[in-house]
Amino acid sequence: MWKKSEPEATVPPPQPQPAPPPRTSVQAARERAVIGPSIEIKGDLTGGEDLQIEGRIEGKIDLRRHNVIIGKSGRVQADIYGKVITVDGEVLGNLYGEEQIILRQSSTVRGNLTAPRVMLEDGSNFKGSIDMTSKESAAAPGHETRPGAAGPKPPAPAGTAAPPASGPGTGA
């Protein structure tokens, strides 16, 4: 019934495929906007693509559906709203991550972090509060003990003004 000896259909040997060309910094830059180290912006930033900041920003950054990277040379004094916020540089302000906030080893952050997931690498210099309540658990009945929006103020380094208190929930 079955011809065991019938030769199986031969599969042609795999041909060597040319390796995909390495991603160049130009291509990476095309996938997200980059604010270079010599750029200084005062005001609000909004947009529809990922953003990498290597320069200085003062104001507010609102990219809730996109990723925000504060590069090693980035200096930001602003509240930041993003999907995933990654900090390598310095931030004075509150961070609101829709999905995650990552503070790298080289980061210095003074402010409050709000995101479902927060990752601090050892060596990161952070002072402030971390609220890891997801939207789902925030809606559930809980044991919240604080009245209203009272809570820790974002700490300000000596000689620096406290970050703007705009944005939701600065309370502990």
Partner 1 sequence: MGLDALVRELAEESRYAILDLGPALGANVDFWSGFACRIHFADLYGSLAEAGFHAGGEEPLWDSALLRRVLPFEPGTRFDVVLCWDILNYLTQEQVTSLVAYLAGFCKQGTYLFAQFWLSPRIPARPITFKIVDREHLRYANRDPETRSWAFFQPRDINKIMEDFRVAGSFLLRHGIQEYLFVYRGGSSQP
| Residues 99, 114: Cα–Cα separation, whole Å | 10
Q: How far apart are CA 76 and CA 79, in angstroms?
A: 9
Instruction: Give yes or no for a contact between 148 and 126, defined as CB atoms under 8 angstroms apart.
Output: no
Residue 28 vs 150, nearer CB to partner 1:
150
Shortest gap between Cβ of 8 and partner 1 (angstroms)? Answer: 52
User: From residue 7, how far is each of 10, 12, 13, 77, 147 by CA, in Å?
Assistant: 8, 14, 16, 71, 78
- Residue closer to partner 1 by CB (options 11, 158) is 158
The amino acid at residue 29 is A
Rounded least distance, CB 63 to partner 1, Å = 24
> Site residues (CB under 8 A) for partner 1?
117-122, 124, 126-133, 137, 142-153, 155-158, 170-172
Please tell me the number of Cα atoms within 13 Å of 165 on its side-chain side.
11
CB-based burial label for 71 (10 Å; 0-12, 13-18, 19+): buried
Based on CB atoms, which residue is closest to partner 1, 4 or 146? Answer: 146
Rounded to a whole number of angstroms, the minimum distance from the CB of residue 116 to partner 1 is 9
Q: Considering the complex, state which of residue 152 and residue 168 has its C-beta at the smaller distance from partner 1.
A: 152
**Least distance (Å) between residue 86 CB and partner 1:** 14
